[in-house]
Structure 1
Amino acid sequence: MRAAERGFTLTELMVVLVILGILASAIVFVMPDPRGRLIDEGEVFAACAHAAQEAAIVEMRDTALWVSPAGYGFERHDGETWRPIGRPPFQDRQWPADTAVTIAQEDGERTRIVFDATGLNDPLDVILARDENRVSVAIGADGTIDVSG
């Protein structure tokens, strides 16, 4: 048999393995985290809080945001009691299972802030943490909402 018909050389096999390794590495780095990004969760929370604030101003009715380590939701005062809103974007939401939540103004199982018709509210600071990442969502007394992390 001739030398050219015996198979691949070691150099050719090594080149193919290096190329496959580079491609596999590129795919791993491009794939998104299946848990989602923590900053995205903080921004969704901030957007929902802002929508509740605007709803309170437009409808001239007190709207509350409650937050707990398990999730958050929205309520509206009907003159007698607080009732869940339940319609998008105000349905109750759960934090992802691997996200630790710290509430600076924690007062019991749930912490509630109320947006009134003027857009003012009590301040609220929520810190989301996952692995080494931390995102802070600060709702100021003047209604400003800041997401940092």
Structure 2
Amino acid sequence: MRTSAATADAPARPPANGFTLVELMVVLAIMALAATAVVLTIPVEERSVRSEADRLAARLAAARDVAVIEGRSVSVNFAPSGYGFERRVAGEWQALPGRSFEQRNWPSDVRFVAGNGQGAARVLFDRVGTSPTPQALVLAGGDAREVVRVSATGEIIRGE
């Protein structure tokens, strides 16, 4: 049998280095399972309280930003049942428009207490974004407890 010159003179291919696509997919699948296990071990009420505190902090920051952009006072009214947003227009308080600022009820497993121990509170943001009514807002549920603070400078701080 005769081999062609092109085949006989071809250099040998070096061994492949690195990982195959299948190997990478297997590693990603294992990492996804491990991440799922970690998430599932977090107690449910803690996730609920934490996510509600994150949502509240984001909505407070958005309300502050609206006050600055529109040059109007914005208030956030808190009650044991939930909270809502208002803005001052022509000397009257009116509901702040927009889906982000709709009245929100607390989830059934979350309790609200204002920092002064009261069940109701009001946070104001003036047209420059500062707050003449600094507050510590406490959300609790089960063993979980989260604090959202509004400073006099209008800064929103989540955590103790």
TM range (shorter): 0.7 to 0.9
**Quick one: distance in 2 between partners of 1:131 and 1:34?**
9
Runs (4 or more) in structure 1 with deviation over 4 Å come to 27-30, 32-36
Unmatched 5+ stretches in structure 2: 1-35
CA RMSD of aligned residues (A): 2.4
2:151 is the alignment partner of 1:147: no
**Quick one: distance in 2 between partners of 1:146 and 1:37?**
18
- Larger mean CA deviation between 78-87 and 118-127 belongs to 78-87
110, 119, 130: which one aligns with 1:120:
130
**Quick one: distance in 2 between partners of 1:81 and 1:89?**
21
**Quick one: distance in 2 between partners of 1:84 and 1:61?**
13
| 1:13 alignment partner in structure 2 | none
Contact 1:56 1:116 in 2 (8 A): yes
Deviation at 1:86, TM superposition (A): 3.9
| 1:46 alignment partner in structure 2 | 57
69, 75, 78: which one aligns with 2:80:
69
After superposition, the Cα gap between the structure-2 partners of 1:131 and 1:106, relative to the gap in structure 1 and judged at 3 Å, is: closer
Deviation at 1:37, TM superposition (A): 2.8
Contact 1:138 1:146 in 2 (8 A): yes
**Quick one: distance in 2 between partners of 1:54 and 1:30?**
33
- Larger mean CA deviation between 110-119 and 132-141 belongs to 110-119
After superposition, the Cα gap between the structure-2 partners of 1:38 and 1:79, relative to the gap in structure 1 and judged at 3 Å, is: same
Unmatched 5+ stretches in structure 1: 1-26
| 1:12 alignment partner in structure 2 | none
**Quick one: distance in 2 between partners of 1:138 and 1:82?**
23
* Percent identity (aligned): 28
Aligned pairs for 1:1-149 within 5 A: 30-31=39-40, 36-105=47-116, 110-121=120-131, 122-148=133-159
The letter of the residue matching 1:51 is A
Q: As a proportion of its length, which structure holds more helix?
A: 2
Q: Calculate the TM-score normalised by the size of structure 1.
A: 0.72
The letter of the residue matching 2:127 is A
Q: Calculate the TM-score normalised by the size of structure 2.
A: 0.68
Give the number of the structure whose alpha-carbon radius of gyration is greater: 2
After superposition, the Cα gap between the structure-2 partners of 1:137 and 1:68, relative to the gap in structure 1 and judged at 3 Å, is: same
The letter of the residue matching 2:61 is H
- Larger mean CA deviation between 129-138 and 31-40 belongs to 31-40
Name the SS of the counterpart of 1:54 in structure 2.
helix
Q: Paired residues, what number? A: 123
| 2:7 alignment partner in structure 1 | none
